[in-house]
Amino acid sequence: MRIVSLFSGCGGLDYGFEKAGYDVVWANEIDKTISSTYQLNHKQTHLVTRDIRTLLNSDIPFCDGIIGGPPCQSWSEGGKGLGLNDDRGRLFLEYIRVVEDKKPKFFLIENVKGLLNDKHSSAFSMFLQRLSNAGYEVTYALVNCANYKIPQDRYRVFIVGINSCYSQHYLFPNPIDSAKVTLKQAIGDILTEPTKYINEVVTENKNFINHDVYAGPFDAKFMARNRVRGWNETSFTIQAQAKNEPLHPQAPKMIYKSQNKRIFAKGFEHLYRRLSIRECARIQSFPDSFIFHYTNIADGYKMVGNAVPPRMAFFLAEQLKLILKRL
């Protein structure tokens, strides 16, 4: 099954589809700080690093499926929420343009839950209508990845379309009934201390690759709420900004002082540090064999935090196979 990947990032979505037996033959990622990581881990995929807006339909090969996550900043609840009034928001239309031209058997889109906010309802309805008009049975769902053996609360919107000529609807996989994966299970075996960085050029960690941590200050916004989850809990959402990453579970929960102020527990201040890039990757369900390439600590966190958890991608891809084998 030949797959085209758009807005590929470091390739978390692609990795999950590959593990489910799909062949990602072509990918597009413009960010040069990320594309080298994609190439390192997806050596068999033809990667194009041009701006998607400059790509002709003829530049993109025939495929059975299209997957990808258009930029989320314009739809994020943590941003300005400019939607289609932002160049990044309009890139969603480039994804739709490729689907309309290639007319694959299926497509899958990932984005943040802010896409479902009332302020974006007209844009979201327009996206769905264009995809439907292109000839697809379209379904979408807001999914918490923690329900699929991912050790973090991570709510994301997935939109899946099946070509209408097959008269099939996509049914999202049922949540897995077994207990959620904890931080202890995900990162409890990492006993070495990470290498600390603020603005320095990152060098390869010889002891444990990508076990690097941002050691910059904690601002007032960060200290406004507790950022620690315990060993027997799932993590907070892994973020794309280094300064906003959750804290390591070795530390006690932060102490309430007032509505918008928390402090570190006295006598335990030395235990408070952010999760390292490798720890974030583990929580995102990347295997340790997946190597992230960066020279700036912020770029490492960005590519991990923006990725679709490969395990989530795998479950979605396996569910698609149940439909595709009937086609």
List, by residue number, the catalytic residues: 72
Q: For residues 7 and 311, give the distance between their C-alpha atoms in angstroms, rounded to a whole number.
A: 19
Query: How many beta carbons lie within 10 A of that of residue 54, not counting itself?
Result: 8
- DSSP 8-state secondary structure symbol assigned to residue 315: H
Tokens of 101: 């031209």
DSSP-derived 3-state class of residue 107: strand
Distance CA(50)–CA(32), nearest Å, equals 10
One-letter amino acid of 224:
A
Record the tokens describing residue 202, joined without a space: 């990152």
User: Under DSSP, is residue 153 helix (H, G, I), strand (E, B) or coil?
Assistant: coil
Helices (H), the chain: 12-19, 32-41, 87-102, 121-133, 183-187, 277-283, 297-306, 310-324
DSSP letters spanning 268-295: -GGG--BPPHHHHHHHTT--TTS----S
Type of residue at 284? Q
Closest CA to 316 of 147, 195, 181, 184: 147
Query: Cβ of 255: how many Cβ atoms within 10 Å?
Result: 13
Contacts (Cβ under 8 Å, ≥6 apart) of 19: 310, 314, 317
3-state secondary structure of 196: strand
